[in-house]
Structure 1
Amino acid sequence: MERTKRVAIVISGLLLSACTTHAQQTSAGLDSTLDAMAGQPVDVAIAWLGEPIGSAPMGPDLVYGWGQTFTSTEYTNAAPGFVEAADFKGGVFPAPRHTVQNNCVIRMVVGADGLIRDWDYQGSDRGCRAYADRPGSHAMLRAAS
């Protein structure tokens, strides 16, 4: 019984550290991809992110924006110990669950010459992960260079 508790504690710690690491990887991946776009034509960003949802003038520059929002359902409380298969009712994780709003907004400042000058983004890890995990983003940026 004591060994089971230790295994459960170690697994819980690993799961929590994996979540933190993935959030840091998402942020770092998106940061490096957007950094690589600086100095590139805005068409590179459009090819990777799709058509912007809008643009607005800012002095002599133009600010383009991309964004998304969606909801997901997350498990609220960790069950102590192991959950037997017979206890599962209604999905992968037993109740209680809650709905979470996920979002991400990316903005790019483009100069009159059509080149990306600066960028920023904000949003939840899960919301921005969709942009960070796009396949081929780094290969596409290298080809545009």
Structure 2
Amino acid sequence: MTRLLKTIALLSLGALSGCVTMDSAKPAMEAMKGQPISVAIAKLGYPDSEMSIAGKKVYTWNNQDSGSYTVPTYNTATTYVNGQPIYSSVQGSRTTSYDYQCKFKVIASQGDIIENFEWNGDIGGCEAFAMRLQKKG
């Protein structure tokens, strides 16, 4: 059981080491300030919504990914019969669910010039945006 937990922990760390965070995309976002909104649309695709608030235009992209996965479990037990140990192993499974979300906003002037960015979400939801923002071209 302990070996399985260690293996899962190591695999998780390995997977996270390849993650791209929104903080790592900040230089790309800063470089887009002062550019037309078409620059952001070229990187992110068409926004999910657009609205005018307080003399600014707010373009919003949403990302949501949810599901579940099953991992094997192993348990061992020792039972004594007539004073003799009997060792048994039981294999099973455990299902884990996930729900990743991110909302990314580009704030632009009424003339569609990018002024600022906002985001709210977790690494699983925002990673796709961060990767697209950092992509060259």
TM-score (norm. length: structure 1): 0.64
Q: 1:79 to 1:27 in 2, by over 3 A?
A: farther
Q: Which has the higher helix share?
A: 1
Counterpart selection for 1:54 from 23, 26, 49: 49
RMSD over aligned CA atoms reads 3.1
Partner AA of 2:24 in structure 1: G
Q: 1:19 to 1:28 in 2, by over 3 A?
A: farther
Counterpart selection for 2:136 from 121, 136, 139: 139
TM-score (norm. length: structure 2): 0.67
Aligned: 1:124 with 2:119: no
Structure having the higher Rg: 2
Q: 1:110 to 1:96 in 2, by over 3 A?
A: same
Give a deviation string over 1:54-110, Cα, whole Å, max 9, x none. 112121111110112121324679869xxxxxx98xxxxx72122211111100110
Q: Which has the higher strand share?
A: 2
SS in 1 for 2:23: helix
Would you identify which runs of 4 or more consecutive aligned residues in structure 1 move more than 6 Å? 76-80
Aligned: 1:103 with 2:101: yes
1:114 match:
112
Work out the CA distance in 2 between the residues paired with 1:74 and 1:30.
29
Give a deviation string over 1:22-79, Cα, whole Å, max 9, x none. 45x4233333332222211100111111111111212111111011212132467986
* Structure 2: runs of 5 or more not aligned: 76-89
* Structure 1: runs of 5 or more not aligned: 81-86, 89-93, 141-145
Counterpart selection for 1:40 from 35, 42, 47: 35
- Comparing 106-115 with 69-78, greater Cα deviation is found at 69-78
Work out the CA distance in 1 between the residues paired with 2:43 and 2:28.
10
1:91 match:
none
1:64 match:
59
1:83 match:
none
